[in-house]
Structure 1
Amino acid sequence: MKIKATLDRIPGGMMIVPLILGAIINTLFPTASKTFGSFTGALLTGALPILAVFYVCMGATIDFKATPYILKKGGVLLLSKVGIAAIIGIIAARFLGEGMISGGVFAGLSVLAIVAAMNDTNGGLYMALMGQFGRKEDVAAYSIMSLESGPFFTMVTLGVAGLSAFPWQTLVGAILPLVIGMILGNLDRELREFLGRAVPVLVPFFAFALGAGLNLQNVWKAGLAGILLGITVVLVTGTVLWIVDRLTGGNGVAGLAAASTAGNAAGVPAAVAAANSAYAPVAPAATALVASCVIVTAILVPIVTAWWAKRVGAGDQATV
C-alpha cells in the first residue's frame, strides 16, 4: 500500500489527514483517552508536549547565516502575515472584546479565532507549493516564517489589542523551545541535521493529537462561519502577501502560497486559554473555527497559487 505517496499527493496531507482522523476518533469515542490511558491516552491528549519538541527541532533548522534573499523573502512574509493579523485583531477587539458573537451566521467568532487563523502559515503546504512553483530559496524562506509557529504572536497581538495581557514568563515560554532549537542548530551543524530530520516526522503526530482534541460536531456547528473565516484568511492575507511579495521583487506566487492557516494553529486557542483563563469560554468555538480554516485554506490556497503561477509562468524552471 502506498499510504505515504497518497498523503503526499494531498496538499498538506501529512497534517490534514491525521488531524481529521484524530477528530473522527474523538467525535465517535470521546472517552477513548481515559478508557485506554497509558501511551494511547497520552497520544490522544499530548499535543502540547509534541508541539514543544517540534518547535525545538524546527528552530534547529533556522540558520543564523541565512542568505539575504531568504531573510528578505521570509522576513517580509512573516512581518506581513503577523502584521495584518494584528491590525484586524485590534479592529475586531473594539467590537468583540474578549468575548464572541453568540448567535447568527457568525456565532462563535472571536478575536482569538480571527488572530489564530491569520497568524500562522501552513508550512508544509507552503513548501510543497514553492517546491513546485518557486525556487529552492523560496522553500528555504519558511525557515524564517516558521517563527510564526505557536501561540507567541497570538498572545502578543491580543495584548496589543488591549485585551487581557500575558505575563512575560508565558510569552518567553511560548518561544523558548524555538530559540533553544535555533541555538543548538547553529552551534552544531550535525545536531541541526539530526533534529531537522524529526520535523516532518513529528507533523502527523501533533496533527493527530490536535485532531483528537476536536469534536467534528463543533466543526460542523462552525459551519458557514468557519468557511467564511477561511475564505477571508485567503482573501485578506493573500492580497497583502501578494502585494508585498511583488514589491520586494517576487512574482506574487510565494505570497499566495503563504495565505493559509497552519494545522497547529488549531491548538493555539487552547494554549492561549491555558495561559489566561479569560479566554477559556471562547476557546472551544475558536478551535472549531480555526480547524475549519485549516481545511478551507488547504483547499483554496493550492488552487489560487497554481492559477497565478500559470499566469506568470512560474514553476517551469523551479528547482528544490
Structure 2
Amino acid sequence: MKIKATIERVPGGMMIIPLFLGAALNTFAPGTAEFFGGFTGALITGTLPILGVFIFCVGATIDFRSSGYIARKGITLLLGKIGFAALLGVIAAQFIPDDGIQSGFFAGLSVLAIVAVMNETNGGLYLALMNHMGRKEDAGAFAFISTESGPFMTMVTFGVTGLAAFPWETLAATVIPFFAFSLGNTLNFGMLIQSGLLGIFIGVSVVILSGSSLFLLDRFIARGDGVAGVAASSTAGAAVAVPYALAEANASFAPVAESATAIIATSVIVTSLLTPLATVWVDKKIKQKKRRTPPPKNQMTIN
C-alpha cells in the first residue's frame, strides 16, 4: 500500500493527517507518551526539539542573498498580523463589555479572546507548509513570525491600543517565549465541546479574515504571491496560555480568562486543520492562473 501517495490525495495531507492523528491520540489516549517513555514518548511530546532541527535544516538551504526578501516578508506578515488583531480589538471594545458577552450565541466572547486568537501565528505550521511547498525563502520568514508566540505581543497590542496596561516588569519577563506543553498536547478535541459552535466560528473567522488581510499584504507590500500570507493565518498553540497570563498581570481579565482559553484552544485546532487546506487551495489557484496567463509579447517565440 502506498501510504504517502494516499495521504497526499488529501489537500495538505502531509500536514493535516499527522496533525489530526496527534490530536486524536492526545484526546483519547493522553497518557500514551508516559506509557511508552523513551524514544517513543519523546517523539510524541518533543515538538520543540524536532522543530529546532527542522529550522536548522531549512536555514541550511537559504542563501544569504535572499535576506532582504526574507526580512521584508517576515516583517510584513508580523506587523500585518498584529496590526489586524489590534484593529479588531479596538472595534470589538466598542461593543463588547469588559466581562465579555453573557448570553446568546456569542456568550463567552471577549476582547481578550478576539485579540489573542488573531494576534499569534502558529509558526511551526507556517514553516512546515512553506517547506513542504518548496518555498525556502518564504520559510525563512518564520524567524520573524515566531516572535508572536506567547503573551508578550498580545500585551503589547493591548498596551499600544490603550485597551489595557501592564507593568514593564511583566512585559520583560515574557520576551522569551516558551511552550509549557508541545503543540500536540494543546490540541484536544474536548475543547470543541467546551467552546461549542462559537469556538469553531471564531477559528473559521481567523482563517478567513486574517488570511485575507495577510494575503493582500503579502501581494502588495512584501511583493509575494499571497500564499505565505494565507499560511500565516492560524492561531498559535502558545496562545492558549495567554488569557491566564494576562489575567495574572492585570486582574481585569480574570472574569473572561476561562472562556477565552476555551475559544482560543478551539481556534488552534480549527486553524491547524483549515490553514493548510486554504494555503494549498490558494497555491493551486495561483499556479493555474500563471499557466493560463500568456508571457509578454517580447518573450514569446515565433515558430
Q: TM-score, normalised by structure 1?
A: 0.70
Residue number in structure 2 paired with 1:121: 121
Gaps of 5+ in 2: 1-6, 35-44, 291-303
Aligned residues: 266
Against the structure 1 CA distance between its residues 215 and 138, is the aligned structure 2 distance closer, same or farther, given a 3 Å change threshold? Answer: closer
1:253·1:308 contact (CA, 8 Å) conserved in 2? yes
Instruction: Please give the per-residue CA displacement for 1:131-171, whole angstroms capped at 9, x wherever unaligned.
Output: 23352010111111111111111112222343331100111
Q: RCO greater where, 1 or 2, for CA within 8 Å and sep 6 or more? A: 1
The structure with the larger Rg is 2
Change (3 A) 1:54 1:147: farther
Query: Aligned pair in 2 of structure 1 residues 125, 274: CA closer, same or farther (>3 Å)?
Result: same
| Correspondence list, 1:72-91, <5 A | 72-91=72-91
Structure 1 residue corresponding to 2:240, chosen from 261, 266, 269: 266
Q: Structure 1 residues 311, 86: CA separation in 2 closer, same or farther (over 3 Å shift)?
A: same
Query: Which amino acid counterpart does residue 175 of structure 2 have in structure 1?
Result: I
Q: What is residue 303 of structure 1 aligned with on the other side?
A: 277
Q: Deviations over 1:277-306 (max 9, x none)?
A: 221221111011011111111222122211
Q: 1:158 to 1:12 in 2, by over 3 A?
A: farther
Deviation at 1:176, TM superposition (A): 4.0
Q: 1:246: which partner in 2?
A: 219
Q: Which 4+ runs in 1 deviate beyond 4 A?
A: 12-26, 50-62, 208-211
Distance in 2 between residues matched to 1:275 and 1:141, nearest whole Å: 30
Structure 2 residue 182 is the aligned partner of structure 1 residue 206: yes
**How do 1:126-165 and structure 2 match up within 5 A?**
126-165=126-165
- Corresponding residue for residue 220 of structure 1: 193
Provide the C-alpha distance between the structure 1 equivalents of 2:53 and 2:89, rounded to a whole number of angstroms: 30
Amino acid at match of 1:207: L
1:17 offset after TM fit, Å? Answer: 5.6
| TM score, norm. by length of structure 2 | 0.73
Q: Is the 8 A contact 2:192 2:200 kept in 1?
A: no
2:100 matched residue in structure 1: 100
Q: Which amino acid aligns with 2:113?
A: A
Distance in 2 (CA, whole Å) between partners of 1:52 and 1:274 is 26
Q: Which amino acid aligns with 1:256?
A: V
Note the alpha carbon deviations across 1:15-55, whole angstroms, 9 max, x for none.
776566556578xxxxx9xxx9xxxxxxxxxx9xx999999
Equivalent residue, structure 2, for 1:188: none
Return the alpha-carbon distance in structure 2 between the equivalents of residues 137 and 101 of structure 1. Answer: 42
**Cα contact 1:120–1:260 (8 A) shared by 2:** yes
Change (3 A) 1:23 1:288: farther
Question: Residue type of the partner of 1:229?
Answer: I
Alignment of 1:234 with 2:207, yes or no, is yes
Change in Cα spacing, 1:55 to 1:305, as seen in structure 2 (3 Å) is: closer
User: Any unmatched runs of 5+ in structure 1?
Assistant: 1-5, 27-31, 37-46, 179-201
Residues 48 and 182 in structure 2, CA contact (< 8 A), matched pair in contact too: no
Match of 1:281 in 2: 255
